[in-house]
Amino acid sequence: MVVNGMAALEEFIEHVVRRVLAERPREVSAELSPPLADVLTQAEAAVVAHVSVSTIREWQGKGYLPKGHQGRVERAALMRFLAEGPPMKIDETSADAKAAAILARKRGGRRG
């Protein structure tokens, strides 16, 4: 089974390399940022992240990943997001209520 997975991965990498080389202009301007090889389609990003294309679109919509030209994804941004995860949002009211409930239980447990 692992052999088939490796063969599929090698086939995908070969496909991506061929596509990037075919799309790349003969002379790349230094003004282009990021370089073309560092940009993935949403489908390619989905394969790298092991998620669906709709999940990549959702992450872009929520601002977790910057949305490039035609929805493309910067490889570095994707790798950073996968390593760090989405930004944590802490609901101060909820956190305070949970802390108060925990403290109340601890105080109640000592008295009884």
Q: pLDDT for 72-111, tens place per residue?
A: 999 999 999 998 887 776 666 777 788 888 888 877 655 4
Q: Indicate the number of domains in the chain.
A: 1
Residue 78 in any domain: the answer is: yes
Residue 71 in any domain: the answer is: yes
Higher pLDDT, 12 or 26: 12
Per-residue confidence (pLDDT) for residue 112, from 0 to 100: 44
Per-residue confidence (pLDDT) for residue 42, from 0 to 100: 92
Are the C-beta atoms of 60 and 66 separated by less than 8 Å? yes
Per-residue confidence (pLDDT) for residue 31, from 0 to 100: 44
Per-residue confidence (pLDDT) for residue 60, from 0 to 100: 93
Between the CA of residue 26 and those of 20, 22, 38, 64, what are the distances in Å?
Answer: 12, 10, 17, 33
pTM greater than the 0.75 cutoff: no
Residue 8 in any domain: the answer is: no
Residue 97 in any domain: the answer is: yes
pLDDT tens figures, 20-76: 777 665 544 444 445 555 889 999 999 989 999 999 999 999 999 998 888 899 999
For the domain that residue 86 is a member of, what is the CATH number? 1.10.10
Are the C-beta atoms of 28 and 35 separated by less than 8 Å? yes
Domain range for 51: 34-111
Residue 34 per-residue DSSP state: S
